[in-house]
Structure 1
């Protein structure tokens, strides 16, 4: 383990993290492995490094987590680990909108969103953990805001950019989002 990874492990273990924690990081790294095994063409080393940094700074009350995480990558990574590309990828996770032909961004965004395709029990745990991270937000505001975010995802032609992501995760993710939106709107 490199020095920057040890420092990031401490960040990923902060007590206020319920979803954006070490389990999420491990899930994203496993999803990247799945995308690579599916034949997706991306720079695995750079994208895996970006996965480590993509939520390295996480404060649910802040709106600049991706930018601060990207800046951390620029600060901590040696030049031979392509810090500018890592920072660029981290910034893209703010919108999860990879440009056509950007295979590195497509892989990172798809891996980050792969939790949306989890089985029902895992998805419900994920949704509960997101709510715990936003415990400071009143219920009505959280329900409306979360539903708006999820509807925004559903309005996309595809949630996942890679062929592997679409084939494996698109249908179950859409079903989970529909179900959570219905639950949020019923509250």
Structure 2
């Protein structure tokens, strides 16, 4: 599996303990393969890595951003409002086992926390992470429709009268941003289509102002 190989490769930069690496990968794979995960799954991670691959020459620390991708949604409970904080804590706990230095662990921690608000960061690597995370918003119409369905399935415990207003709030937050994407590369690639997709989804939800 490409993701597993990628995880092993970055871990080997700080440890030779293959059993530990295997254990950490198994934990990640199990979390992202949960039956409740229809969008925030291994495929989401694969897509993020494909996006990052296109800009790796612009990224200061590929290892750090890779760890952030692997752990940013490791905790994902649709009933919780602290998934990012919990995921960041898990990353800290696990990366300490790999003997990363405190500065590297803190950077991953902060990058994961940044995925909560998706505000532009002073750290450009963080901005690339945020943009890769949201890249689905700017994909083609068919891919976006599939994304909508997957998100709805993840929130299937909520009836429409609760889901739709909540989803509307999230979408309108993106539209209110000066720019959904923080980096020039992603802005040029996805911004226009992302806004069209979001407007379309608001119409589909049937609660467009």
TM range (shorter): over 0.9
CA distance in 1 between counterparts of 2:207 and 2:100 reads: 51
Counterpart in 1 of 2:34? 14
Could you tell me whether the CA contact under 8 Å between 1:42 and 1:107 is conserved in 2?
no
- TM-score norm. by structure 2 comes to 0.83
- Residue 103 of structure 1, CA deviation: 0.8
Partner Cα separation in structure 2 for residue 73 and residue 179 of structure 1: 36
Q: Is the 8 A contact 1:147 1:185 kept in 2?
A: no
Are residues 1:58 and 2:76 paired? yes
Structure 1 partner of 2:107: 85
Q: In structure 1, how many angstroms separate the alpha carbons of the residues matched to 2:177 and 2:207? A: 23
* In 2: Cα distance, 1:42 partner to 1:5 partner: 24
RMSD over aligned CA atoms reads: 1.5
Write the distance in 2 (CA, Å) between the matches of 1:116 and 1:137. 22
Once the 2 structures are TM-superposed, how far is the Cα of residue 41 of structure 1 from its aligned partner? Answer: 3.5
Aligned equivalents of 2:26, 2:48: Cα separation in 1: 18
Residue 76 of structure 1, CA deviation: 0.5
Give the total of aligned pairs.
Answer: 184
Mapped to 1, the partners of 2:168 and 2:116 lie a distance apart of 17
Larger radius of gyration between Structure 1 and Structure 2:
2
Matched, 1:183 2:209: no
Question: 1:68 maps to which residue?
Answer: 86
**Aligned equivalents of 2:53 and 2:199: distance in 1?**
27
TM-score by length of 1: 0.93
